[in-house]
Chains A and B, each alone.
Chain A
């Protein structure tokens, strides 16, 4: 069973607009959530994370929101740039500080059009 789900395989937005990528999870024991970005033929690179004790974390153009009651998190990119075009994976971990084991979603391909 898929504990972390990204239900939208792809998303297309116009440059300058907001990109919103969504992720749902089923395991209420997850206490740490991350977003990774992946370009073709490269490994994923860390983007932003959030602990379960927070509901928002911001880093420049990237903001992650966590809704624990809905078991939902989202990544907002504002403003979107063509260089943001990539596959975005959300990941979750139970007791990340002790295990580091990440459960990934299937990914969402973001295309930002100039």
Chain B
């Protein structure tokens, strides 16, 4: 079956612009996670959604970052007023339920000029 997909695969933007990154999880997966990987670093947890529960936003680095998950499926990560330090690969993962194996998408490579 189809895996986790993310779009766009690459995004170049100018400092100060807003960007939206999209994640399509595996069908039927109730848990969805966002991570980011900055150059030379490990993956950093950002936010996760589980069913209809309130999302765990504890990893979002600032209030410029937000995410939503519509209809328990597709998720959008929005970064407002982008800064150069936001440049990273943003990875989305989904799992059948919380605590089960997370399956990652290929990521969106964001470059802020």
Interface residues of A (CB under 8 A from B): 4, 6, 36, 41-46, 49, 89, 91, 96-107
Contacts and interface: CB of A to CB of B under 8 A. Distances in A.
Given A105-B42, A107-B42, A100 B48 contact: yes
Contact of B45 (A42, A44, A46, A103): A103
What interface size band does chain B fall in? 20 to 34
B44 A100 contact: no
A46 B103 contact: yes
Interface string B77-105: 00000000000000101010011111111
B26 to A, nearest CB: 12
A42 B109 CA distance: 11
A100 B42 contact: no
Interface string B25-50: 00000010101000011111100101
Contacts of B59: 101
A104 B42 contact: yes
B43 A98 contact: no
A1 B25 CA distance: 31
B31 A89 contact: no
A49 B100 CA distance: 11
Given A43-B104, A44-B104, A99 B40 contact: no
B43 A42 contact: no
B33 A43 contact: no
Given A43-B91, A43-B106, A100 B33 contact: yes
Contacts of B4: 43
A46 B101 contact: yes
A96 B102 CA distance: 11
A49 B93 CA distance: 17
A36 to B, nearest CB: 8
A107 B35 CA distance: 15
B106 A100 contact: no
16 contacts: A4-B42, A43-B91, A43-B105, A43-B107, A46-B102, A91-B43, A96-B99, A97-B98, A100-B31, A100-B48, A100-B102, A101-B33, A101-B48, A102-B45, A104-B43, A106-B42
